[in-house]
Amino acid sequence: MSVHEGHRARMRQQIEQFGMDSLSDVQLLEVALYPVLPRGDTNELAHRLLTRFESLSGVLEANRAALLEVEGVGARTADYLMLFLQMERRHMICRADFDRVLDSTTKCGQYLLPHFMGEQDEVVWLLCLDGKCKALDCRLIHRGCMNTAAISIRKVVKTALERNATSVVVAHNHPSGIALASREDRETTRALQTALDAVGVTLADHIIVADGDFISMASDGMMEPLPAKTETAG
């Protein structure tokens, strides 16, 4: 039995006797790397990863390019490590109760947060609601800069109509970690309000996500009501 095989046997014994909770972060990462590096020194690599990214969450949230900079991490290992955060993200989204009433900023924000987990790019999600504020659909509609030149207003309106939505919530993230509405955010929100109102759909909120938290443009008074429609004389 090699040195690595003996160490792995002791790790398996520890897990069998005391469970996964007995493992330190470095040990947990070491064990997680066994399938992708069946003969390598995963203990040393786990230490390098934690040193480079400072924590287990830092390792799991690292992008592919950053992972590949670590000695001993190849393309296969980088892709494997990135799977964990994606599985956690899908798990959190699947756990969301699709039938629950999303009738407040807090509820909508909590529902949408998992969709942004681990995102390195700016992305836009559209949450479609029925008349009882139940989710009809939640769809990724754009990846890239959030502005009226980039995002397709037509696509938002088309999706809302296809899902027969009474109201919608738009949400996007700021990868910079600062949840403040920019001038472009306000301009895009106004354009969306106008376009949706024209087809009888209400833009209930525009939520901005950053660093695991969110703000509501509606709650913060940044979504001005549209001018009242004037009736033409018949």
Whether 121 is covered by a domain: the verdict is yes
Name the residue with higher pLDDT: 46 or 2.
46
Residue 126 sits in the same domain as residue 193:
yes
Residue 120 sits in the same domain as residue 84:
no
> Which of 93, 118, 153 is at the close of a domain?
93
Place of tokens 């549209």: 226
The pLDDT, as a whole number, for residue 234 is: 47
Count the Cβ atoms, other than its own, within 10 Å of residue 196.
23
Residue 110 sits in the same domain as residue 209:
yes
pLDDT tens-digit map of 64-100: 999 999 999 999 999 999 999 888 877 877 776 666 7
The pLDDT, as a whole number, for residue 63 is: 87
Rounded to an integer, the average pLDDT of 220-233 is: 67
CATH number of the CATH domain containing 203:
3.40.140.10
Query: Does residue 146 register a pLDDT over 70?
Result: no
pLDDT tens-digit map of 26-70: 999 999 999 999 888 899 999 999 999 999 988 988 889 999 999
pLDDT winner (highest mean) among 39-48, 59-68, 161-170, 177-186: 161-170
- Give the chain's domain count: 2
Q: Is 125 helix (H, G, I), strand (E, B) or coil?
A: strand
Question: CA–CA separation, 131 vs 102, rounded Å?
Answer: 11
Residue-range definition of the domain harbouring residue 10 = 3-93
Torsion of CA 172, 175, 178, 181, to 10 degrees: -30
> Which of 75, 93, 111 is at the close of a domain?
93
> Which of 66, 93, 120 is at the close of a domain?
93
Whether 71 is covered by a domain: the verdict is yes
Whether 222 is covered by a domain: the verdict is no
Residue 63 sits in the same domain as residue 28:
yes
CATH number of the CATH domain containing 38:
1.10.150.20
Residue 59 sits in the same domain as residue 108:
no
Q: Which DSSP category does 116 fall into?
A: G
